[in-house]
């Protein structure tokens, strides 16, 4: 299947009835964000920090709508108290797609500590983590993750590996490489 994972991800959002998508942009999320923005059935909400998306998702659910929150791995660090204190405490569903940095082939040392901490930190606050290491993993994990989050009232995160989205190449005096 040559289809980009973002196309299948958006299809699963639609099938599951996702109506609100909060995001903080990341290069690896560009196509998924664009597909959601072009979809009149989905309200996209650009957030200034990832923590906002956690609140938006809970508010959507209070009003009867499902949401998805899209973020880069660095942003997971901004969400932890909101996930622990709101989502886990009050048994809200939460579904998030996290594009990873700081792992496979990372060239920026400042990305590594948070990237490596994503899984243990999310698990510590009660989230279930699905790790997508290949492009083929992503769509079924999004489908299963959405179902689990909204059937069992808990936080589920699908981590899209840097192996899927590609690593930035950093070379002195050259334009930065592909994302």
Partner 1 sequence: MTGYVLHRREVLAAALADRGDTLFVTGLGSATWDLASLGDQAENFYLWGAMGNAAMIGLGLAIARPDRRVVVITGDGEMLMGLTSLTTIGARRPANLAICVLDNERYTETGRQPTATGLGTDLAGVAAACGFLKTATIRTETESAGLGALLLRTQGPVMAVAKVVDEALPMAVPPRDGGYLKTRFRIGVLGERAATLP
Residues binding partner 1 (CB under 8 A)? 19-20, 43, 45-49, 51-65, 67, 81-82, 85-86, 89-92, 151, 153
Residue 85 or 179: the one with the smaller Cβ distance to partner 1 is 85
Supply angle C-alpha 75, 10, 16, rounded to 5: 100
Residue 58 or 117: the one with the smaller Cβ distance to partner 1 is 58
- Could you tell me the smallest distance in angstroms from the CB atom of residue 45 to partner 1? 6
CB 131 within 8 A of CB 160: no
Residue 17 or 113: the one with the smaller Cβ distance to partner 1 is 17
- Could you tell me the smallest distance in angstroms from the CB atom of residue 122 to partner 1? 17
Residue 39 or 43: the one with the smaller Cβ distance to partner 1 is 43
- Could you tell me the smallest distance in angstroms from the CB atom of residue 22 to partner 1? 8
- Could you tell me the smallest distance in angstroms from the CB atom of residue 133 to partner 1? 31
- Could you tell me the smallest distance in angstroms from the CB atom of residue 139 to partner 1? 22
Tokens found for residue 92: 């809200």
Residue 40 or 151: the one with the smaller Cβ distance to partner 1 is 151
Residue 76 or 165: the one with the smaller Cβ distance to partner 1 is 76
Torsion of CA 120, 124, 127, 130, to 10 degrees: 20
- Could you tell me the smallest distance in angstroms from the CB atom of residue 81 to partner 1? 7
């Amino acid at each position: 299947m040559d289809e980009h994972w973002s196309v299948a991800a958006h299809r699963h959002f639609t099938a599951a009835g996702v109506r609100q998508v909060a995001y903080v942009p990341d290069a690896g999320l560009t196509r998924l964000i664009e597909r959601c923005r072009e979809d009149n059935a989905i309200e996209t909400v650009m957030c200034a920090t990832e923590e906002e998306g956690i609140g938006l998702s809970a508010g959507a659910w209070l009003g009867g709508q499902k949401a998805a929150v899209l973020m880069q791995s660095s942003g997971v660090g901004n969400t932890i108290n909101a996930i622990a204190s709101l989502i886990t405490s009050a048994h809200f569903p939460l579904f998030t797609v996290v594009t990873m940095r700081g792992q496979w082939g990372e060239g920026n040392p400042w990305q590594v500590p948070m990237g490596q901490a994503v899984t243990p930190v999310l698990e510590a606050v009660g989230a279930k983590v699905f790790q997508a290491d290949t492009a083929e993993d992503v769509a079924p994990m999004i489908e299963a993750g959405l179902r689990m989050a909204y059937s069992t009232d808990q936080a589920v995160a699908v981590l899209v590996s840097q192996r899927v989205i590609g690593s930035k190449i950093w070379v002195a005096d050259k334009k930065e490489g592909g994302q």
